[in-house]
Structure 1
Amino acid sequence: MAKRKDKKQEEPIPEKIKGDVFVTPLEEVLPMSMLPYAEFVILDRALPRVEDGLKPVQRRILYTMYDMGLLPDKPHKKSARIVGDCMGKYHPHGDSSVYDAMVRMAQDFNMRMTLVNGHGNFGSVDGDPAAAMRYTEARLEPLALELLRDIEKETVRFSLNFDDSLKEPDTLPGRFPNLLVNGASGIAVGLATNIPPHNLGEVIDGVVAYIDNPKISLFQMMKYIKAPDFPTGGYIIANELLQAYETGRGKITMRAKVTVEEGENDKKLIVITELPYQVNKSRLLTKIADLREEKKEILGGISEITDESDRNGMRAVVRVKKDADVDKILAALYKYTDLECTFGINMVAIADGKPQQLGLLDIIKYYVAYQREVVLRRTKFDLAQAKDRCHILEGLIIAVRNIDEVIEIIKKAESVPDARQKLRARFSLSERQAQAILDLRLARLTKLEIFKLEQELKELKELIARLQAIVDSKKLQMQVVQDELKELKKQYKSERKTSLVFDVSEIKVEKFDDVKPVVNCVLCATAANTIKCVAEKNFNMTDKNLSERSNENDIFTALLHTASDKTVYSFTNMGNCHKIDMSDVEVGKIKDKGFAYDELCPDALEGERPVAFYEVGEKLPKGSLLFYSRGGYVKKSDWKEYNILKYTFQAVKVNEGDEIIGIETDDPEPTTTLFFVTAKGMCLNAYKNDIPSQGRISAGVRGIALNEGDKVVFAGQIDDGGEILVGTDGNTIKRVIVSQIDPMARYRKGVKIVDLGSNRSVVYADYVTMPYKIAVKMDDGSLIEADTEEDVSIEDRTTKGKGIKLKKGCKATAFWSMKYLSDK
């Protein structure tokens, strides 16, 4: 028997019930509500924009602080005030979400380059929370201003805020690639992002390389952007790094930086100085303590765990019993604790108005396109402003050139509108020009002010032409982006903190009993452009005769007696300085082949070679350095100018086509002068009392005035004794007594020091006070030896010099001093 249908079930569900209450099935409500919610969370909360690398709350905080005038040179203001302004104007959410986002932007252990400068307790790497917002203060960091730079010049689009009372930027101008520099993490609906931070300088280099070559391969790009650079340091083991940069998704392994030190009573100390990114130090040490009880068979050798961190840096110490195996304990700690952990790279960001998984090159492509748009919009704004001002100036100049007539028209006018209309009719002016004339102050009518107006107009027209060229040329826009990024890199220098390795075996844990013994050695640069590091004992045992030196690899052009625990500054012909950690240099024998300079200094450029070596301790030497260039320049700089943290830096500016040929310590004795010898046989004995002390990257001042096509062969300090040794490619050599050449003011052409005849040139010169040997290279490649006292005669400065005893038919092509053999 069929069941009777219930009448109530047959009745349709009403769409509207009295009282404006809508009744809709749940299966319809959920999809209708879920989609807008998901879209909001994805686009307006959890994911950063690819253009400026910021989430909406971060962008609103920075814009609020900028609006409040919390610039780096202004006092801090209470965080509660900043949070309140941000919530009231732009971000209608909870105060904790705003404050937490601001705190993170101030934490140097979370952000690679902080954007907020916090004053007070802003949390710690131990997981301590920041103090309440009523206790802390904040202002913008200088780098944050680069994200906001030119925002008032219509560089970005603005939208109405939540109550349509104000406008807020959709993105910030973002003048550096913040998405890569500071990374991002967030969880949206069905999506998540986890972008690691990178080194600012490396990312800028990568962007510049992309602009130069938009078809650059990922492999080439990774020469610039090698790997993430975490603010907490440590090591990165590459793993899936290449895959992550290619697809936007991959995994890398992070490991803490650990050393083993010697403790009291023969105990060993495992010292943790750098942690993997976002590892809680306090929780890590607690975990180690718990594991010591759980895994006594492995970690029972741990006797004590202490945290000795202070304001100078991190130092967590795990004390190990003297009979315990440190290597096994370390292996267990890496396995069971966060001393080693993984970072899942998932580079998701909002691009083209939707969330996208982006590879490294994709992020850079979007960023470069955005920066070009920012530069174009800014240039159009500046161009409009310049044209507007130019228009006004043209009217003012017409007025001041016809000032008597202008005053007469204004005096006779019945009203301001009448005066404006008459001025327009008489001089064919626009309404704005006429109004500017009416607003002109009488003080602007002086001759000086009239000249200033004309000068300003001239400069404005040049500016307009330059801006118009940028607007019309995509290439010039890209050049502006490049130049501004390079300037940013110089302004905000940041050394890499995280070391990249490709295999665990490359990570060496430094142990106190692994320390190498200190070896006295001699660092040598050879005439064959190779480098040798020779044990001092081996160097001193070397035969002083040239017969033991068969080629240029055995002739030294620069050397330094030092030790394997020292740091050496290597100054080069291209004006750079490369620091050399002697502990990394293998000490060999004097007859070894040697190695290329770029093996010792990886940042050395092609063709770069050392000119002088200086040993530098914890404190820089006192006094000044003198640099001499092939083009006749001399530069004096105080040693304190070279207190630079970088391992490679510019030591002196070298003009195009020039090079550094000599470097020495400035002799403060008032009797010393500078002596120059040129390839065309000229010399100058110059006073040096007017050589100014200049900054590190200056080019110096003129030492000698060179004739066209001439160049300096020798430059150095001398006193009133000794001789100048001069060797030519005409197989002649002589000594000239210094007292024959009177000192004079620098930047003169000087006098002749040798008679060259035709088609001859000076190839070698030196200052001689004590006899020493020189090596002469012949055009057949062989070497002969000469003694400066026995084989070289003293002659007048106008003679040719005596011939050198060479093989028949051979010609001298180069000379080298072997003074170092006399010094032994």
Structure 2
Amino acid sequence: MEEQFKPEETNDQNRIIPVNIEEQMKTAYIDYSMSVIVGRALPDVRDGLKPVHRRILFAMNELGINSNKPYKKSARIVGEVLGKYHPHGDGAVYDSMVRMAQEWSMRYTLVDGQGNYGSQDGDGPAAMRYTEARLQKFAESMLMDIDKETVDFQLNFDDSLEEPTVLPTRIPQLLVNGSSGIAVGMATNILPHNLTEVIDGCVAFIDNREITIEELMQHVKAPDFPTGGIIFGMEGVKAAAHFGRGRVVLRGKLTVDTKSSGREQVIITEVPYQVNRDNLCDRIGQLVNDKIIEGIAHVNNESNKKEGTRIVLDLKRDAIANVIINQLYKHTELQTSYGINNVAIVKGRPRTLNLKDMISEFVEFRHEVVVKRTKYELREAEKRAHILKGYLIALDHLDEVIAMIRASANPEAAKDNLINAGWGLDEIQAKAILELRLQRLTGMERDKIKEEFDELMKLIAHLNELLSNEGMRYDVIKGELLEVKDKFGDVRKTEITYLDNEVRIKDLIKEEDVVITISHLGYIKRTPASEYRQQRRGGRGAIGGKTREEDFIEHLFVASTHHTMMFFTEKGRCYWLNVYEIPEGDKTSKGRAIQNIIQLPPDDKVRAILDVKDLKDEEFVKTHNIVLCTKKGIIKKTALEEFSRPRQTGVNAITIVEGDELLEAKLTDGTSEVMMAVKSGRAIRFNEEKVRATGRGAIGVAGIEVDDENDEVVGMVCVNESEKASHTILVVSEKGYGKRTQIDEYRVTNRGGKGVKTISVTDKTGSLVGILEVNEKEDLMITCRSGVTIRMPVIGISEQGRATQGVKLIRLDDEDEIAAITKMEEFQDPAQETAKVEGVPEEPTADASEDNATNPDPSPSDESNPS
């Protein structure tokens, strides 16, 4: 390699220069690589375009194919680009133009295509002789002011024409549409963003040059893909914003629907960016055939141009949708990661850029464009003002000018005579006067010339002020950016999901009270509490959930969207779920199967739910217990701390003996009194201290005696010392009767006893179905097996003794029964309706004697003879 090339002795010896082959290879390769880097593969930081895209847009502009003009054949455009500016293959040019017209490839398309431009399923476009194109209005904003000497031009490949080195874009194209390319020794992958967010970021940068990247990310939150999807985690996005390199994980968007047959469907409505929908369907089918994913019965791509993406996966009857979805994310392109590598050409050299760099480079380029445009407009205005000044001089000496021109032998002599007439005219003005049409000599035309001259002088003063005032120039840039935002800005297509270790997602969720319902067959949903209007007791109620004939709403309670729900199953397992993760539905919707949200076995069922404000609050966790009771009267107390570390698969909360089921769970502070009630109408009251704390796996101890095989515990309440004065015990029977009773009417005993009568159970009242501790500021919500729900103020339910049967709370249809009761904070709605009681006279809200009047068969008190 060190030996130099030694040519043979020839007559042309003096024309041959010996060189070192190693040096020659190195130089040639560097020249080639820089040519590829600068002239082909990497975008310019200023207009965000590679040369081929810039040449296509410029050629279309030169052809006059604007958004308000007819389409032209793509072959005509490609020929123009090839012949004048881009001496490469026609395929490269046409493919680039097609991509600029595909709404699934570009966040904001630059070319308006007519004809077959391919599809998201991988179909190619028609040949260029069949398709047509014109510029989009969006692209016209990138070419605006190109004729005002705002950018430098260079000679084309054969030095016969000039082409722009950059477009004077008003749009931050590099961030908005992104770019990807592989050069020599380097590559770029800049992801698309939302125009509204990017312009807000640019304006924020103009207002504060010292703005941090964290503050910029308040505006430019994350990439925004043309095909939507969900960004899963922000760590990589933040890294890219700070350092120019990162990684973003994108997931497709799915919904779960239930068919009329009861089977569930997973419907994919958005796929990740650049994912081929047909290939995705084929991949899912292959995974099903290979038994990697089990539970999918059928896959069908129902996507079309009008409705967009729709891939339907029919699930088998026993399949759990949540499990299938996680397998799809794991094994298919439904979850895809993209490497971010923000490399662009800055001042002729490749450079890795962070978010602030890209915005600052664009803003500074816009400043250069505004300065050059202002200088051009000033020159043009001064030229025109100079000529108009000559016109005004000529009109002031009109007769002399006409005589002088008539006396001149030729135009040249006339021009010289005007210059030498002593009126201060120069050659340009004299030429303009000689070319003046006779109609401009009328009085009205003179006024128009004077008016135009005055306007031009104002414009010149404004342009001079603009050139001398940098603040004004940046105000112009801001104004133009906000104009673009108003014209083309839209909402985000891609959602952002933060991982638990990145941000408290609760901070992003609006805090509000919601009603959570769980049906007998295990369907769960949350509904804004405001959807349930208040009614007087005895009303007919409102439909609170559509269910199948054999289904009814079993659990109904109220919680804040910022809280954590703890679900206790009849087999004694505990699961966790944030309230905001529970799917939202309206009052009449069925909801989602709970097995698809938490990993609940098919043979288990949720029995009790606890609403915990914050499991990460150490002081709260250490001072509270969970008290559990079973249908057979077993009670157990365990420290909340043992449940403070959620697991996806759940934990064992209590060991349930054969034939028993977990019924209720309550949160206590260690000083509460426990009350348990049984179906036959008895209740017991004892101190929480009587139940010693045990671990999660323990069985528990006896809480109330349950003798009869048909009898069972229906509820448990835990009352704090501070709540005794303001709270009463509310009991409701299955036929719609209920009442409130003072807590102190129930004497304190040891746990494990029979208890005392809490309601007089008759055929008319039916068995006891629920017990609650309530105050007069709360509302009672009753749900029937038919799905009817009624909400009423607690204060409207009268206080009575333990042994009475209570008053009619809700009028039930034949064969209907009360399924569940719960309480919620009272709120007043001016638009609330008050349902009139059918066949039951309205009573004053707190008059026990009148309530007893509507209760024709009260049982005698059993104070003297407790059960």
TM-score clears 0.5: yes
| Superposition deviation, residue 240 in structure 1 | 1.5
- Contact residue 15 and residue 22 of structure 1 kept, 8 A: no
- Contact residue 534 and residue 588 of structure 1 kept, 8 A: no
The alignment status of 1:490 with 2:486, answered yes or no, reads yes
| Superposition deviation, residue 27 in structure 1 | 3.2
Which amino acid letter does the alignment assign opposite residue 474 of structure 1?
E
Deviation string, structure 1 residues 67-122 (Cα, Å, up to 9, x no partner): 11110011111111111110110001111111111111111111000000111111
Give the alignment partner of residue 154 of structure 2, picking from 150, 159, 162.
159
Alignment partners' CA distance in 2, 1:454 and 1:142: 37
Structure 1 match to 2:278? 282
Instruction: Compute the TM-score of the two structures, normalised by the length of structure 2.
Output: 0.58
Alignment partners' CA distance in 2, 1:823 and 1:263: 36
Q: Secondary structure at the match of 1:13?
A: coil
- Contact residue 308 and residue 317 of structure 1 kept, 8 A: yes
Q: Secondary structure at the match of 1:253?
A: strand
Alignment partners' CA distance in 2, 1:563 and 1:58: 59
Which amino acid letter does the alignment assign opposite residue 536 of structure 1?
R
Give the alignment partner of residue 89 of structure 1, picking from 79, 84, 87.
84
The alignment status of 1:348 with 2:367, answered yes or no, reads no
Give the alignment partner of residue 534 of structure 2, picking from 532, 537, 548.
537
- Contact residue 259 and residue 270 of structure 1 kept, 8 A: yes
The alignment status of 1:258 with 2:251, answered yes or no, reads no
Structure 1 match to 2:454? 458
Which amino acid letter does the alignment assign opposite residue 466 of structure 1?
H
Alignment partners' CA distance in 2, 1:261 and 1:820: 33
- Contact residue 349 and residue 358 of structure 1 kept, 8 A: yes
Structure 1 match to 2:211? 216
Give the alignment partner of residue 408 of structure 2, picking from 403, 406, 413.
413
- Contact residue 296 and residue 316 of structure 2 kept, 8 A: yes
Alignment partners' CA distance in 2, 1:293 and 1:132: 37
Unaligned runs of 5+ in 2: 510-517, 546-556, 561-828, 836-867
Which amino acid letter does the alignment assign opposite residue 13 of structure 1?
K
Any residues of structure 2 matched to 1:108-119 within 5 Å, and which? 108-119=103-114
- Contact residue 285 and residue 299 of structure 2 kept, 8 A: yes
Residues 15 and 81 of structure 1: CA distance in aligned 2, closer, same or farther (over 3 Å): farther
The alignment status of 1:74 with 2:56, answered yes or no, reads no
Structure 2 match to 1:431? 427
The alignment status of 1:27 with 2:22, answered yes or no, reads yes
The alignment status of 1:474 with 2:470, answered yes or no, reads yes
- Contact residue 535 and residue 587 of structure 1 kept, 8 A: no
Any residues of structure 2 matched to 1:696-715 within 5 Å, and which? none
Structure 2 match to 1:444? 440
Deviation string, structure 1 residues 615-662 (Cα, Å, up to 9, x no partner): xxxxxxxxxxxxxxxxxxxxxxxxxxxxxxxxxxxxxxxxxxxxxxxx
| Superposition deviation, residue 15 in structure 1 | 7.5
- State how many pairs are aligned: 534
Alignment partners' CA distance in 2, 1:353 and 1:514: 62
| Superposition deviation, residue 140 in structure 1 | 0.4
Structure 1 match to 2:102? 107
Structure 2 match to 1:185? 180
Which amino acid letter does the alignment assign opposite residue 14 of structure 1?
P
Residues 462 and 12 of structure 1: CA distance in aligned 2, closer, same or farther (over 3 Å): closer
- Contact residue 232 and residue 275 of structure 1 kept, 8 A: yes
Give the alignment partner of residue 6 of structure 2, picking from 7, 13, 23.
13
The alignment status of 1:65 with 2:95, answered yes or no, reads no
Give the alignment partner of residue 244 of structure 2, picking from 242, 245, 248.
248
Q: Secondary structure at the match of 1:118?
A: strand
Alignment partners' CA distance in 1, 2:61 and 2:104: 24
Instruction: Compute the TM-score of the two structures, normalised by the length of structure 1.
Output: 0.61
Residues 563 and 361 of structure 1: CA distance in aligned 2, closer, same or farther (over 3 Å): farther
Residues 306 and 457 of structure 1: CA distance in aligned 2, closer, same or farther (over 3 Å): same
- Contact residue 533 and residue 832 of structure 2 kept, 8 A: no
Structure 2 match to 1:392? 387
Deviation string, structure 1 residues 27-80 (Cα, Å, up to 9, x no partner): 344213211110100000000000000000000000000011110011111111
The alignment status of 1:229 with 2:224, answered yes or no, reads yes
| Superposition deviation, residue 494 in structure 1 | 1.4
Residues 514 and 140 of structure 1: CA distance in aligned 2, closer, same or farther (over 3 Å): farther
Structure 1 match to 2:138? 143
Which amino acid letter does the alignment assign opposite residue 180 of structure 1?
L
Structure 1 consecutive aligned stretches of length 4 or more whose deviation exceeds 4 Å = 9-12, 15-26, 504-508, 511-519, 562-565, 586-589, 818-824
Alignment partners' CA distance in 1, 2:486 and 2:832: 43
Structure 2 match to 1:301? 295
Alignment partners' CA distance in 2, 1:272 and 1:359: 34
| Superposition deviation, residue 535 in structure 1 | 3.6
Which amino acid letter does the alignment assign opposite residue 110 of structure 1?
S
Residues 326 and 231 of structure 1: CA distance in aligned 2, closer, same or farther (over 3 Å): same
Residues 514 and 150 of structure 1: CA distance in aligned 2, closer, same or farther (over 3 Å): farther
Give the alignment partner of residue 125 of structure 2, picking from 123, 126, 130.
130
- Contact residue 256 and residue 264 of structure 2 kept, 8 A: yes
Give the alignment partner of residue 189 of structure 2, picking from 188, 194, 198.
194
Alignment partners' CA distance in 1, 2:445 and 2:317: 85
Structure 1 match to 2:269? 273
Measured on the aligned residues, the alpha-carbon RMSD in Å equals 3.2
| Superposition deviation, residue 286 in structure 1 | 0.8
Deviation string, structure 1 residues 228-276 (Cα, Å, up to 9, x no partner): 1000001012132111101100011100000011135322111000111
Give the alignment partner of residue 364 of structure 1, picking from 350, 359, 362.
359
- Contact residue 45 and residue 362 of structure 2 kept, 8 A: yes
Q: Secondary structure at the match of 2:269?
A: strand
The alignment status of 1:38 with 2:33, answered yes or no, reads yes
Alignment partners' CA distance in 1, 2:418 and 2:89: 60
Residues 394 and 215 of structure 1: CA distance in aligned 2, closer, same or farther (over 3 Å): same
Q: Secondary structure at the match of 1:279?
A: coil
Any residues of structure 2 matched to 1:721-732 within 5 Å, and which? none
Any residues of structure 2 matched to 1:313-324 within 5 Å, and which? 313-324=308-319
| Superposition deviation, residue 134 in structure 1 | 1.1
Deviation string, structure 1 residues 675-715 (Cα, Å, up to 9, x no partner): xxxxxxxxxxxxxxxxxxxxxxxxxxxxxxxxxxxxxxxxx
Which amino acid letter does the alignment assign opposite residue 275 of structure 1?
V
| Superposition deviation, residue 18 in structure 1 | 6.2
Alignment partners' CA distance in 2, 1:32 and 1:359: 31
- Contact residue 333 and residue 339 of structure 1 kept, 8 A: yes
Which amino acid letter does the alignment assign opposite residue 80 of structure 2?
D
Give the alignment partner of residue 335 of structure 1, picking from 319, 330, 335.
330
Alignment partners' CA distance in 1, 2:258 and 2:385: 74
Alignment partners' CA distance in 1, 2:461 and 2:25: 59
- Contact residue 397 and residue 453 of structure 1 kept, 8 A: yes
Which amino acid letter does the alignment assign opposite residue 359 of structure 1?
N
Residues 423 and 136 of structure 1: CA distance in aligned 2, closer, same or farther (over 3 Å): same
Residues 195 and 563 of structure 1: CA distance in aligned 2, closer, same or farther (over 3 Å): farther
- Contact residue 121 and residue 131 of structure 1 kept, 8 A: yes
Unaligned runs of 5+ in 1: 1-8, 522-532, 542-561, 566-585, 590-817
Alignment partners' CA distance in 2, 1:317 and 1:271: 5
- Contact residue 5 and residue 18 of structure 2 kept, 8 A: no
Alignment partners' CA distance in 1, 2:832 and 2:36: 76
Alignment partners' CA distance in 2, 1:173 and 1:228: 24
Q: Secondary structure at the match of 1:252?
A: strand
Which amino acid letter does the alignment assign opposite residue 428 of structure 1?
G
Any residues of structure 2 matched to 1:733-748 within 5 Å, and which? none
Alignment partners' CA distance in 2, 1:53 and 1:563: 57
Alignment partners' CA distance in 2, 1:444 and 1:424: 21
Alignment partners' CA distance in 2, 1:434 and 1:823: 91
Alignment partners' CA distance in 1, 2:86 and 2:531: 67
